[in-house]
Amino acid sequence: MSLLIEWRNGNDSLLGARICLFSLPGVGNIGKAALDALNSTNDAIEIARLHHTALPPLAVLDEDGLLSPPHLSVRAIEMKGDNWLITITGSSQPLEPNNQGLMAREILQLLKEHQIDDLVVLAGMVDDALSKEIFIVPSSSSYRVDLESRGATVRRDEPSSGAIGMAALLSSLGPVYGINSACAIATTIGTSGDITASQNLLLSLDKWFNLGLVIPDDANQKLIEKLKDLSPESKDDLVSELTKSHDAFYM
């Protein structure tokens, strides 16, 4: 097993959480910016870091000014009723498809061992500028029925070209591990960070899953700050390089 779990802040479990939200940089950075803002506005606690040998070998300074190896951050948000929501985010993913598959499966095994019921991946999808849709695509018919009963906007015809990347694997492989998995998608023009789409995606998930999360009035500003951090002008667009020969969108 190539996944190393570094438990942090005195934790050694996922706190009995039943739902996990996941995102990586992608189209419009919608999902990543949304979860970063959600973590910030709800005072999320970092409970673990997921280290993997397949992640690009780039060490960066973390929020404490310490040199940190490449990892995905696992954070916990306390919800109503003493329940917890888990979020997993990171700034990169393995570049090779086989390593993406390996890491996705190891994360799913971790979630299974800690009895996570629902895994929802947040992503953006390129569409017409006038399209402002928020919808969710599950990976099993039983979960689709459940989501529809909650009033979620469930689509059966999108993403019509499919999806690639580690997040796409996570949102589709859940049933193999006994986990309800789905991809929550916001449409965007895709050329830059879409703050409105990120905000609307959070509001929709909060409603569909009855999370009772705090999304303060300054969330838009936090999203702007996160999008700026995610999209410095000097960085190469690795997502475009990886997907320029594919019809499927990268999550």
How many separate domains does the chain show? Answer: 1
Nearest to 126 by CA among 29, 231, 50, 215: 29
- pLDDT means over runs of 10, the chain (251 residues): 93 97 87 92 96 94 92 94 93 93 97 98 79 90 98 92 89 98 88 76 94 67 57 42 45 58
Q: Can you name the residues that pair with 148 across neighbouring β-strands?
A: none
CB 96 within 8 A of CB 54: yes
Nearest to 209 by CA among 127, 138, 132, 151: 151
Looking at residue 230, what is its pLDDT? 52
Nearest to 165 by CA among 39, 64, 250: 250
Q: Tell me, what CATH number does 38's domain have?
A: 3.40.50.10900
> What domain range is 135 assigned to?
3-250
Q: What's the distance, CA 110 to chain centroid?
A: 16
CB burial readout 193-223, b (16+ within 10 A) else e: bbbebbbbbbebbeebbebebebeeebeebb
Looking at residue 226, what is its pLDDT? 55
Looking at residue 5, what is its pLDDT? 98
Looking at residue 75, what is its pLDDT? 98
Looking at residue 159, what is its pLDDT? 85
pTM of the model: 0.86
